[in-house]
């Protein structure tokens, strides 16, 4: 949970004037965000469930929809995003965000703001994938940097040292051809931290 005052200052710097009907979503944000999480972009609009607040932080994309007796939260990490599309028309624009477990369509009359939001998500996704590829390449190079030492005992053997070496790989390509290394885990197969949920008035909410 993040301080309400900190979140309010970040929102004022990003969005300026805020329509009054989005106040419930803004009050929920401090309860959803984690320590160290910073709002980097924000846009107001609609999705399949009605009006909602769409936020981009340094960790993820958050959709918050707060209505009387109901709360809907969508959480999509940048490393889970598969595709982001943007289209604008006469009186608005649409962003289509696809992940490996969600399909979100968000519409807004703020064409410029939504296009800027889409570009921000695309930049964060590319940054995350570049970092993942660099880490995977670094681990692969570290594993392939040396071949295990080969020791040959010939005193009690019928083969000479040269004959034994001819039967075993003596360079990296030959060694790893017969000893393949496991591939690094796929970072996009991990589930998202938060899934969509609705809270009714009879549900118990821990304070």
Cβ count near 101 (within 10 Å): 11
Q: What is the pTM of this model?
A: 0.63
Neighbouring-strand partners of residue 63: 54, 74
CB 57 within 8 A of CB 37: yes
Reading the block at residue 135, the tokens are 């880490």
- Please state which architecture CATH assigns to domain 4-130: Roll (2.30)
Q: What is the 3-state secondary structure (H, E, C) of 143-179?
A: HCCCCCCCCCCCCCCCCCHHHHHHHCCCCHHHHHHHC
At 69-78, the pLDDT tens digits run: 889 998 999 9
**pLDDT for 29-55, tens place per residue?**
888 888 888 899 999 899 998 899 999
| Among 165, 182, 200, residue whose Cα is nearest residue 71 | 200
- Domains of the chain by residue range: 4-130
Res 184: pLDDT: 60
Query: What is residue 95's predicted lDDT score, i.e. its pLDDT?
Result: 94
Q: Token pair for residue 149?
A: 């030492």
């Amino acid at each position: 949970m993040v301080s309400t005052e900190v979140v309010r200052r970040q929102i004022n710097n990003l969005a300026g004037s805020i329509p009054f009907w989005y106040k419930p979503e803004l009050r929920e944000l401090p309860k959803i965000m984690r320590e160290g999480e910073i709002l980097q972009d924000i846009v107001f609009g609609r999705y399949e469930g009605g009006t909602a607040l769409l936020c981009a932080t340094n960790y993820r994309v958050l959709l918050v929809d707060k209505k009387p007796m109901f709360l809907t939260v969508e959480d999509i990490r940048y490393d889970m995003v598969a595709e982001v599309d943007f289209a604008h028309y006469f009186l608005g624009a649409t962003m289509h965000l696809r992940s490996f477990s969600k399909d979100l369509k968000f519409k807004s009359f703020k064409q410029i703001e939504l296009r800027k939001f889409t570009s921000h998500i695309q930049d964060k996704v590319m940054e995350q994938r570049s970092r993942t590829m660099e880490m995977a390449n670094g681990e692969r190079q570290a594993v392939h940097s040396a071949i295990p030492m080969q020791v040959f005992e010939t005193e009690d053997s019928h083969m000479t040292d040269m004959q034994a070496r001819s039967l075993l790989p003596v360079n990296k390509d030959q060694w790893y051809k017969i000893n393949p290394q496991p591939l690094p885990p796929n970072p996009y197969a991990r589930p998202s931290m938060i899934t969509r949920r609705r809270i009714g008035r009879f549900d118990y909410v821990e304070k």
